């Protein structure tokens, strides 16, 4: 069976920088607290006029250019997001219209910060099972600034906005490159550890604007993130008969430096193998992994033939890992 390769990649973070110093003026916090507890120094925030579909399109255009394909060559668009422009239709439909590739199927996928890993698994299965499909555009994008409670210091310091995109396609020359494996999971018992109410909720007339913001049990999420991401790394390596030493670059979900360090210690990964950009981006949810892969490639931390391991964690709770031999 042919593999699915990453034919092109691109990412976009908004221009507007929100620094820890800016947050000091908004809530009772300090740069020292944020850096020591999270590693985050600044994050990028959308302007009022920038929607999730807009940042998605910016990332998508770069991915299409990098893949050297035209918009009309895209056969399917999947957008992983929990901050869609509209409750419906899907942000993927809005992206389709903005890019100008009407009539192809489009849908959104909701798995919070694990959305991108879930989406590449779905896209990979489309490509392997549907010979008509040649190029699938997968976007991870979130505009968490819309759903953060800017008066809650325990959450508002953590998140940023951004988008990352890949074009996936079947490998035509059996190069050995491509997505080797994807592993995804969820534990719905932890729904209330990290959530944001939607529109299908009971007693909707009692819901106030503030109740529509991100709510989080920070310590519980912290513990689960370390446990689940460590376990999924070990599982995916084991079932592919690989060792940590075989991996050139690990791309962890960019949530918190202390979480990443704890995983590295637990699994035995040297910190140099971990790609980290959260100090500049904060946690961009579904965009975190594709932005980090794109930046790792641009920084030449990933070379052709290298094995990369992306690992995610998010509300649900959800988790996932993907092993990719870079083209
Ligand atoms: C949020 C997080 C950084 C908090 O760190 P922590 O060491 O667990 O801190 P605690 O929640 O125990 O809070 C300790 C104190 O700091 C305070 N605090 C919380 N946010 C603060 C902030 N931004 N600035 C200053 N103080 C803050 C708390 O109110 C608490 O004060 P108290 O002891 O007087 O009650 C940490 O729990 C975390 O990273 N969790 C995972 C979050 C995450 O990654 N979510 C997304 C997953 S996809």
pLDDT in tens, 117-172: 999 999 999 999 999 999 999 999 999 999 999 999 999 999 999 999 999 999 98
Look at residue 2 and tell me whether its pLDDT is greater than 80: no
Instruction: Determine whether 253 is an active site residue.
Output: yes
Question: How would DSSP label each residue in 82-109?
Answer: SS-SSSSS-HHHHHHHHHT-TTS-EEEE
The pLDDT tens digits for 285-301 are 999 999 999 999 999 99
CATH code that applies to domain 4-170? 3.40.47.10
Q: How far apart are CA 94 and CA 56, in angstroms?
A: 10
Q: Is 31 in the pocket of ligand 1 (CB under 6 A)?
A: no
Q: Given the structure tokens 């193998």, which residue do they identify?
A: 273
Confidence of residue 173 (pLDDT cuts 50, 70, 90): confident
Confidence of residue 1 (pLDDT cuts 50, 70, 90): low
Please give the CATH topology (third level) of the domain spanning 178-325: Peroxisomal Thiolase; Chain A, domain 1 (3.40.47)
pLDDT at 156: 98
Confidence of residue 204 (pLDDT cuts 50, 70, 90): confident
Q: Is 227 in the pocket of ligand 1 (CB under 6 A)?
A: no
Q: With the C-alpha atoms ordered 326, 9, 318, 18, is the resulting torsion angle positive or negative?
A: positive
The pLDDT tens digits for 47-91 are 999 999 999 999 999 999 999 999 999 999 999 999 999 999 999
The pLDDT tens digits for 210-219 are 888 999 999 9
The pLDDT tens digits for 224-276 are 999 999 999 999 999 999 999 999 999 999 999 999 999 999 999 998 999 99
Q: How far apart are CA 109 and CA 122, in angstroms?
A: 9
Q: Which of 139, 128, 140, 151 is nearest to 28 (CA)?
A: 151
Domain limits, the chain: 4-170, 178-325
* Whether the domain at 4-170 and the domain at 178-325 fall into the same CATH topology: yes
158-173: burial string, b at 16+ Cβ within 10 Å, e else:
bbbbbbbbbbbbbbee
CB atoms within 10 A of CB 324: 26
Give the atom of ligand 1 at the shortest distance from the alpha carbon of 258.
39
Q: Which of 157, 192, 222 to mutate to test the pocket of ligand 1 (most atoms within 8 A of CB)?
A: 222
pLDDT at 58: 98
Query: Token pair for residue 261?
Result: 């360090």
């Amino acid at each position: 069976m042919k593999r699915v390769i990453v034919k092109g990649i691109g990412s976009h973070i908004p221009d507007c920088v929100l620094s820890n110093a800016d947050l000091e003026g908004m809530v009772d916090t300090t740069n020292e607290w944020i850096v020591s507890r999270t590693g985050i120094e600044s994050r990028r925030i959308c302007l009022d006029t920038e929607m999730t579909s807009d940042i998605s399109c910016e990332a998508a255009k770069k991915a299409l250019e990098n893949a050297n394909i035209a918009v009309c060559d895209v056969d399917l668009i999947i957008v992983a997001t929990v901050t869609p422009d509209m409750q419906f239709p899907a942000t993927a439909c809005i992206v389709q219209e903005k890019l100008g590739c009407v009539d192809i199927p489009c849908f959104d996928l909701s798995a919070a910060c694990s959305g991108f890993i879930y989406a590449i698994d779905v896209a990979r299965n489309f490509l392997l099972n549907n010979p008509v499909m040649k190029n699938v555009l997968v976007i991870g994008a979130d505009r968490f600034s819309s759903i953060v409670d800017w008066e809650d210091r325990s959450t508002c310091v953590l998140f940023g906005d951004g988008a990352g995109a890949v074009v996936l396609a079947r490998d035509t020359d059996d190069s050995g490159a491509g997505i080797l494996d994807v592993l995804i999971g969820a534990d719905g018992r932890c729904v209330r550890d990290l959530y944001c109410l939607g529109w299908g909720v009971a007693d909707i007339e009692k819901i106030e604007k503030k109740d529509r913001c991100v709510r989080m049990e920070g310590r519980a999420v912290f513990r689960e993130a370390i446990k689940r991401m460590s376990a999924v790394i070990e599982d995916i390596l084991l079932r592919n008969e690989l060792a940590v030493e075989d991996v050139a670059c690990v791309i962890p979900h960019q949530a918190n430096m202390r979480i990443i360090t704890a995983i590295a210690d637990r699994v035995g990964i040297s910190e140099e193998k971990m790609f980290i950009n959260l100090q500049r981006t904060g946690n961009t949810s579904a965009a975190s992994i594709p932005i980090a892969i794109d930046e790792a490639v641009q920084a030449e931390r990933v070379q052709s033939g290298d094995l990369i391991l992306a690992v995610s964690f998010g509300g649900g709770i959800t988790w996932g890992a993907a092993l990719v031999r870079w083209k």
